[in-house]
Amino acid sequence: MACLSVSETTTFRWSFEEDVLRYKAAGIPAIGVWRQKLSDFGEEKGAELLSETGMQVSHLFWAGGFTGTDGRTFRGAVEDALEAVRTAAELKTRCLLVYSGARGLHTHNHARRLFREALKEMIPLAQELGVFLGVEPMHPGCAGDFTFITDLDEYFKLVDAIGSNQVKLIFDVYHLGAVPDIVSRIPQLIPHIALVQLGDAKSPPNGEVNRCLLGEGSLPIVELVRALRDNGYDGFFDVELIGEDVEAYSYDDLLEHAKAAYARLLGETAGVQ
């Protein structure tokens, strides 16, 4: 059943404990867990808190950086990613976000090979533990240090080369909503989607992410959510709100707006489940 989630990046300055307790108090049923916050709180304690509150986990954010542009070796990044798969399983989430790292000084072919090899090493453990490896194509205007996967064609090249159903698509409306004919492509994408992230924008990103409140931008959120639902997507809708356009709002206001926008998008009969 479709379910509202909010990413911990939305409440950047709150701690993991604050996020869980205050999301719960606000009526948010699921959370996108940020590894850094979880680590600061303690993974075992964090898993216990989630269980005690009944909070679902839509995804774990994030693992990767296999191209070495963040200073880590390929082997170090892979070992960290394998640990992230185990953490995702402990949190009872089926989705780990995985980013390639920036292309940096690598050729495109070499960067692609590094990412493929890392995913291939992760797949056996991910399959054993029931965790999907979610790849998120990001808008080239803000992909920055995260990834060189900036369009759907690049994602499909990656998946075709790997040949495993364990690698899935993170469909982020903020990054993909302005792609020409994106609504008509939803039927093709549905079998690949592990998670839908909801975001809106008043203008294309230019150097960094700048999301506005849902419904206040120019992206076809209503049409995309309708197409996703009509074609069988029944998973988490994760709201991520970061950037200058939302900095003036309190975190409590952002949670309330996310909940109301979600209810509107899915229709009054869907409610917030």
- Model pLDDT, residue 144: 84
170 touches 135 (CB < 8 A): yes
271 found inside a domain: no
Cβ-based neighbour number of residue 108 at 10 Å: 10
Residue 13's SS3 state is coil
104 found inside a domain: yes
272 found inside a domain: no
248 found inside a domain: yes
CATH number of residue 158's parent domain: 3.20.20.150
Cα(239)–Cα(199) distance, rounded to whole angstroms? 7
273 found inside a domain: no
Q: What is the mean pLDDT of the chain?
A: 96
- Model pLDDT, residue 269: 33
160 found inside a domain: yes
pLDDT single digits (tens) 228-242? 999 999 999 999 999
**Domain region containing 123:** 3-266
Residue 257 amino acid letter? H
Q: Is pLDDT at 105 greater than 90 in this prediction?
A: no
Cα(103)–Cα(125) distance, rounded to whole angstroms? 26
41 found inside a domain: yes
Q: Is pLDDT at 183 greater than 70 in this prediction?
A: yes
Percent of the chain with pLDDT over 70: 98
DSSP-derived letter for residue 209 is: -
pTM: 0.96
Q: Is pLDDT at 268 greater than 60 in this prediction?
A: no
Count how many domains the chain has: 1
